[in-house]
């Protein structure tokens, strides 16, 4: 694993971004990058001195683009833009996402097309390296002229305003600077605009969405295989020959994973000659449904990594005589795949809920509601109510935010992406999905014990054992919310998937054979 990442020079991936945010990798500036940044800084100074009119350097913003700003007011203009655009509302976004915003913005600015002072980039770097993370309200961006409101809040601390998370506490920036013997930055021409123009709010939710969604996809295959074992389903629909006839890559990966997860299972071998012709769709069609979600995930990952290495502010300064005022800040390229990912994640929960229901029906040798003594006990009936509620909540979150547009800036910004809402919706859907998967995992672990003394495959037995270290078999009713919480934590902190990957490696089992594009390190 690399030790350093060079901002503005190296290629940024989702994996690398997460590692930077966790402090596993340290971000640095190369000499070449510093020189490029300083040249861009000089270019904008030359523009100011030449009195050539360039949007956002010596003009107002948005509908005020035709308002000239005097040379002596160009710095004041940048200070005021951070003040005036800090209009976000709602709860603060997760600190990790705010930190990813800093990382992704720093990488974009360090490419040298934004005319930001190197001292400003150094201060942003200081915030990242010292985990002094600004508080950013969750609502207020329409995702068009960049994520204006959240980015304004993100960079208020540069000018001594706003609040930050400092040593685990929310503290006013001026108090932190006093404690750290620092002074606010004096912004130069264009700097304020460069800081708040861009898609880093949308992008950071996309980065985190790619990571969390991958974890859910990995888990869904494992739990789906456990549910299939419990219901004495067949692995015939996962035959690679079948999927060669319809070769979607995600489908083929899921089919291969299910074949691998079920290999050498005693439970599977015990009913090979049964008279069942077909399994229900939620078992039989896992390659098609989970696979389609994999394809949506890959699309989001690929577009997110393009955006991670893009320059998305405005105007772009190629040199002091060559500037372009364009639309690289518009969030549509990520808004659409984020909405697509919402649908895919919601469907992954939908099919998991159907398997939860199947496990309760009392068919194929399982007791009704997964308990022997029901009547006095409700068994696992009510946890499925929760999955049903979460599935429906996710459906309501599937309205595509990117299908809407409300004009702003008195019509100057007459089409907006609403991609910030797409990103936030995906975050909530994934939270609900993690609970749904936790409940299916709890139910599948209960169900598979009714197949004893037969054993499943080495991987699925290890998955069962990992859960049983914290949640025991239920012979009678108890407060299942405690069990759900414990399993959800092992889902959402990635410990379940990490354990399964280590187990597969120990037994020299490849769960991503010939499908490396679909892999992510978590």
pLDDT digits (tens, 9 = 90+) for 391-423: 999 999 999 999 998 988 877 788 899 999 999
The span from the CA of 254 to the CA of 250, in Å, is 6
Residue 214, C-beta contacts closer than 8 angstroms, at least 6 positions apart: 297, 301, 520, 522
Residue 62 lies in a domain: yes
Residue 194, C-beta contacts closer than 8 angstroms, at least 6 positions apart: 109, 114, 115, 116, 313
Shared domain for 258 and 191, answered yes or no, is: no
The more confidently predicted of residues 303 and 405 is 303
Shared domain for 295 and 387, answered yes or no, is: yes
The answer on pLDDT for 11 being more than 90 is yes
Shared domain for 182 and 209, answered yes or no, is: no
Q: Exposed, middle or buried: residue 265 (CB in 10 Å: 0-12, 13-18, 19+)?
A: buried
Which of 178, 198, 218 represents a domain boundary (last residue)? Answer: 198
SS (H, E, C) 416-435: CCCHHHHHHHHHHHHHHHHH
Q: Strand 26-28 relative to strand 4-6: parallel, antiparallel, unpaired?
A: parallel
Residue 143, C-beta contacts closer than 8 angstroms, at least 6 positions apart: 199, 201, 202, 330, 331, 335, 416, 417, 418, 419, 420, 421, 422
Shared domain for 38 and 95, answered yes or no, is: yes
- Residue 274 has what pLDDT? 83
Residue 103 lies in a domain: yes
Longest CA span, the chain: 86
Local structure of residue 26 (DSSP, 8 states): E
CATH classification at residue 89? 1.10.275.10
Shared domain for 76 and 184, answered yes or no, is: yes
What angle, 0 to 180 degrees and rounded to 10, lies between the N-to-C axes of helices 200-230 and 14-22? 100
Which tokens go with 388?
């049903």
Question: Under DSSP, is residue 381 helix (H, G, I), strand (E, B) or coil?
Answer: helix
Tens-digit pLDDT profile for residues 496-508: 999 999 999 999 9
Shared domain for 135 and 265, answered yes or no, is: no
Q: How confident is the model at residue 219 (pLDDT cuts 50, 70, 90)?
A: very high
Q: How confident is the model at residue 1 (pLDDT cuts 50, 70, 90)?
A: low
- Considering the candidates 55, 113, 205, 340, report the single residue annotated as catalytic: 55
Local structure of residue 374 (DSSP, 8 states): B
Closest CA to 253 of 504, 510, 521: 510
The span from the CA of 421 to the CA of 442, in Å, is 32
Tens-digit pLDDT profile for residues 357-400: 999 999 999 999 999 999 999 999 999 999 999 999 999 999 99
Shared domain for 262 and 124, answered yes or no, is: no
Q: How confident is the model at residue 71 (pLDDT cuts 50, 70, 90)?
A: low
The span from the CA of 456 to the CA of 351, in Å, is 22
Shared domain for 294 and 193, answered yes or no, is: no
- Determine contact, residues 346/387, Cβ cutoff 8 Å: no
Residue 206, C-beta contacts closer than 8 angstroms, at least 6 positions apart: 300, 303, 304, 307, 334, 337, 338, 423, 426
Cα 480 to its chain centre, rounded Å, is: 28
Cα torsion for 446, 464, 355, 234, to the nearest 10°?
A: -110
Which tokens go with 160?
């001594």
Assess whether 55 carries a catalytic annotation: yes
- Residue 77 has what pLDDT? 84
197-211, 298-312, 315-329 — which is least confidently predicted? 315-329
Shared domain for 88 and 175, answered yes or no, is: yes
Which tokens go with 514?
């010939």
- Number of folded domains that form the chain: 2
Average confidence score pLDDT of the chain = 94
Tens-digit pLDDT profile for residues 42-67: 998 888 888 787 776 777 666 566 67
Shared domain for 303 and 375, answered yes or no, is: yes
The answer on pLDDT for 69 being more than 70 is no
Which of 198, 222, 237 represents a domain boundary (last residue)? Answer: 198
Q: What range defines the domain where residue 106 resides? A: 4-198
Instruction: Please give the model's pTM, rounded to 2 decimal places.
Output: 0.96
């Amino acid at each position: 694993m690399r030790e350093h990442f060079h901002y503005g020079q190296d290629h940024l991936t989702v994996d690398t971004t997460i590692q930077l945010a966790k402090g596993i990798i340290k971000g640095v500036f190369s000499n070449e990058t510093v020189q490029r940044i300083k040249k861009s800084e000089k270019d904008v100074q030359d523009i100011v001195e030449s009195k050539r009119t360039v949007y956002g350097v010596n003009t107002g913003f948005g509908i005020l683009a035709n308002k000239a700003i005097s040379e002596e007011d160009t710095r004041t203009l940048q200070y005021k833009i951070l003040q005036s655009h800090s209009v976000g509302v709602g709860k603060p976004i997760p600190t990790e996402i705010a930190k990813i915003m800093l990382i992704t913005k720093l990488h974009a600015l360090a490419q040298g097309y934004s005319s930001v002072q190197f001292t400003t980039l150094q201060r942003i770097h200081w915030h990242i390296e010292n985990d002094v993370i600004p508080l950013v309200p969750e609502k207020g961006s329409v995702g068009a002229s960049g994520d204006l409101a959240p980015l304004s809040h993100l960079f208020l601390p540069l000018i001594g305003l706003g609040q930050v998370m400092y040593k685990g506490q929310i503290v006013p920036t001026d108090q932190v600077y006093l404690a750290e013997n620092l002074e606010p930055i004096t912004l130069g021409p264009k700097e304020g605009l460069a800081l708040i123009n861009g898609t880093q709010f949308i992008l950071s939710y996309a980065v985190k969405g790619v990571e969390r969604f991958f974890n859910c996809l990995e888990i869904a295959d494992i739990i789906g295989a456990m549910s299939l074992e419990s219901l004495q389903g067949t692995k015939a629909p996962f035959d690679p020959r079948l999927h060669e006839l319809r070769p979607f890559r995600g489908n083929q990966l899921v089919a291969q994973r299910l074949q691998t997860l079920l290999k050498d299972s005693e439970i599977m071998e015990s009913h090979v000659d049964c008279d069942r012709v077909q399994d229900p769709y939620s078992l039989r069609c896992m390659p098609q449904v989970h696979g389609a979600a994999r394809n949506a995930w890959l699309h989001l990952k690929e577009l997110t990594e393009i955006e991670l290495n893009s320059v998305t502010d405005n105007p772009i300064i190629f040199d002091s005589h060559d500037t372009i005022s364009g639309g690289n800040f518009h969030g549509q390229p990520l808004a659409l795949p984020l909405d697509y990912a919402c649908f895919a994640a919601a469907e992954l929960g939908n099919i998991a809920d159907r398997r939860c229901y199947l496990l309760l029906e009392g068919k194929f040798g399982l007791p009704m509601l997964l308990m022997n003594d029901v009547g006095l006990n409700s068994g696992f009936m009510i946890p499925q109510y929760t999955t049903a509620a979460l599935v429906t909540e996710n459906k309501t979150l599937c309205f595509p935010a990117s299908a809407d547009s409300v004009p702003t800036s008195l019509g100057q910004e007459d089409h907006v992406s609403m991609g910030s809402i797409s990103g936030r919706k995906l975050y909530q859907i994934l939270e609900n999905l993690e609970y749904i998967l936790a409940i299916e995992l709890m139910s599948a672990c209960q169900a598979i014990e009714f197949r004893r003394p037969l054993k499943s495959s080495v991987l699925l037995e290890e998955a069962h054992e990992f859960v049983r270290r914290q949640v025991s078999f239920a012979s009678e009713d108890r407060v299942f919310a405690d069990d759900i919480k414990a399993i959800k934590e092992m889902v959402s902190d990635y410990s379940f998937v990490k354990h399964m990957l280590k187990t597969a490696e120990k037994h020299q089992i490849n769960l991503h054979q010939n499908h490396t594009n679909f892999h992510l390190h978590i």
